[in-house]
């Protein structure tokens, strides 16, 4: 008789109830019947290799059996949750299942499990039977949640990798269009080159904002990688990027400012501020970028001319997927640029300041410490 737990619990068979040992003895019968039924009823299961199909189901069976020994009931519940979550995660990573298929195969397990008990005349009390049903219901929820979580993470990784890989050929296409525009003599060729430039700039902006959007999924904080660098050098790169992708010249005034920050997130924050200035500023007006510092803090500011932002609308600029009426435009975007800028600033122990008047134009400033290392793990409101 198979009376040894092969699940997570390290239990001596002598400590197990007769009922638990009786259910453990049914493991081969239950698992084999489950595999046959799943392959017959679920098309996507039929393509799986036997070890992948079986997965953690023997351990799941044993964890259910453990519920029938009062001293191990609590341990069985914990093991069921762990096994179910791992099952759901592996189904997301290793199969072409969808959520419906995952739930269906666990429902099949319930049916096969109780059928085997009936066939072998293993009698459960109503309380014991209900405990098994409740645990299977919990396992279905835990598996489905893990499955959804892994699938979401895989989609995010794919999208991030795809966007990252697209940016290099996109930059090359943009540069090629610039060369065509300079060399072309036919007005029609020049017009086509300008359209290419406009569209590559729009695609690049959307790709960058998509990367920012991925960081907000699930309300998680930014994964900062703090390193030492000169913010003036990063500002110079931002100006060059704007000239390449957006065809605008930004006046830069920057003092050398070496500090500890996350270079990647700061770069995207500055690019978002530039994109925002292009979308909502006067088309032909001067855009300016400043880098200033004191003994312990740094301020990076981007200024553009254009319609002022009413002070009562300022906060709405930083809300996810929301734009104030004064900031609305027909430009394409995900509505996460300025919220991302704020989160970058606050993740570094700083803040974003906005000054906007009809006479002085609009200035966004990131004001933060020269050394952000003490603030990396500080709690923030999501």
What is the value of pTM for the model shown? Answer: 0.51
DSSP class of residue 318 equals G
| Burial class of residue 333 in the structure, from the number of CB atoms within 10 Å of its CB (0-12 exposed, 13-18 middle, 19+ buried) | buried
What span, in angstroms and rounded, lies between the C-alpha atoms of 266 and 251? 19
Write out the chain's pLDDT in tens, 382 residues: 455 665 555 667 778 999 999 999 999 999 999 999 999 999 888 889 988 999 989 999 999 999 999 998 988 898 999 999 999 999 998 898 999 999 999 999 999 999 999 999 999 999 999 999 999 999 999 999 999 988 877 776 676 676 667 777 877 887 888 888 888 888 888 888 888 877 777 777 667 666 666 655 544 556 688 999 999 999 999 999 888 777 888 999 999 999 999 998 899 899 889 988 888 888 888 999 999 999 999 999 999 998 888 887 787 777 654 444 434 444 444 345 788 888 889 889 999 999 999 888 999 999 999 999 988 765 444 4
In DSSP terms, 299 is beta-bridged to: 292, 367
361: region left, alpha or beta (phi > 0 left; psi from -120 to 50 alpha): left
What span, in angstroms and rounded, lies between the C-alpha atoms of 22 and 120? 9
349: region left, alpha or beta (phi > 0 left; psi from -120 to 50 alpha): left
- Walk me through the domains of the chain, giving residue ranges and CATH numbers: 13-154 (1.10.490), 222-375 (3.30.565.10)
Q: What sign has the CA pseudo-torsion 135, 137, 142, 144?
A: positive
For every residue of 361-376, DSSP letters joined together read: EEEEEEEEESB-GGGT
Closest CA to 260 of 230, 216, 289: 230
Query: Alpha helices of the chain — where are they, by DSSP H?
Result: 18-25, 27-41, 50-54, 57-66, 73-94, 99-119, 126-183, 187-216, 231-245, 263-280, 337-347
- What's the pLDDT score for residue 168? 74
Query: Alpha helices of 217-262 — where are they, by DSSP H?
Result: 231-245
Closest CA to 31 of 105, 89, 122, 99: 105
- What's the pLDDT score for residue 154? 75
Task: Note whether 212 and 247 are within 8 A (CB).
Answer: no
- What's the pLDDT score for residue 221? 55
- What's the pLDDT score for residue 149? 87
What span, in angstroms and rounded, lies between the C-alpha atoms of 361 and 303? 7
Q: Dihedral of the CA atoms 15, 17, 21, 23 (nearest 10)?
A: -140
């Amino acid at each position: 008789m198979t009376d040894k737990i092969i699940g997570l619990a390290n239990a001596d068979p002598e400590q197990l109830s007769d009922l638990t040992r009786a259910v453990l003895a049914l493991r081969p019968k239950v698992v084999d019947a489950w595999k046959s039924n799943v392959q017959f009823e679920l098309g996507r299961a039929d393509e799986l290799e036997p070890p992948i199909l079986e997965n953690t189901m023997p351990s799941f069976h044993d964890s259910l059996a453990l519920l029938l020994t009062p001293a191990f009931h609590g341990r069985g519940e914990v093991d069921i949750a762990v096994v179910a979550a791992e099952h759901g995660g592996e189904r997301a990573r290793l199969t072409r299942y969808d959520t419906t298929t995952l739930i269906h195969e666990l429902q099949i397990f319930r049916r096969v499990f109780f059928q085997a008990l009936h066939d072998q005349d293993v009698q459960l009390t109503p309380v014991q039977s209900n405990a098994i049903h409740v645990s299977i219901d919990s396992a279905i929820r835990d598996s489905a949640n893990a499955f959804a979580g892994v699938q979401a993470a895989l989609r995010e990784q794919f999208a991030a990798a795809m966007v990252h890989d697209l940016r290099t050929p996109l930059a090359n296409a943009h540069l090629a269009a610039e060369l065509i525009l300079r060399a072309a003599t036919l007005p029609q060729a020049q017009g086509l080159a300008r359209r290419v430039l406009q569209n590559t700039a729009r695609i690049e902006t959307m790709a960058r904002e998509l990367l920012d959007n991925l960081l907000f999924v699930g309300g998680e904080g930014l994964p900062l990688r703090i390193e030492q660098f000169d913010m003036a050098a990063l500002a110079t790169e931002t100006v060059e990027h704007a000239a390449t992708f957006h065809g605008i010249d930004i006046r830069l005034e920057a003092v050398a400012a070496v500090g500890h920050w996350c270079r990647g997130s700061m770069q995207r924050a500055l690019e978002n501020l530039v994109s925002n200035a292009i979308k909502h500023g006067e088309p032909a007006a001067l855009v300016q970028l400043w880098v200033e510092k004191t003994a312990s803090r740094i301020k990076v500011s981007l200024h553009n001319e254009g319609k002022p932002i009413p002070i009562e609308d300022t906060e709405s600029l930083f809300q996810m997927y929301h734009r104030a009426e004064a900031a609305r435009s027909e430009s394409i975007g995900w509505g996460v640029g300025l919220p991302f800028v704020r989160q970058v600033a606050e993740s570094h122990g700083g803040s974003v300041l906005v000054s906007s008047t009809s006479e002085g134009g609009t200035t966004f400033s990131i004001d933060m410490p020269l050394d952000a290392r003490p603030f990396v793990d500080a709690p923030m409101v999501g």
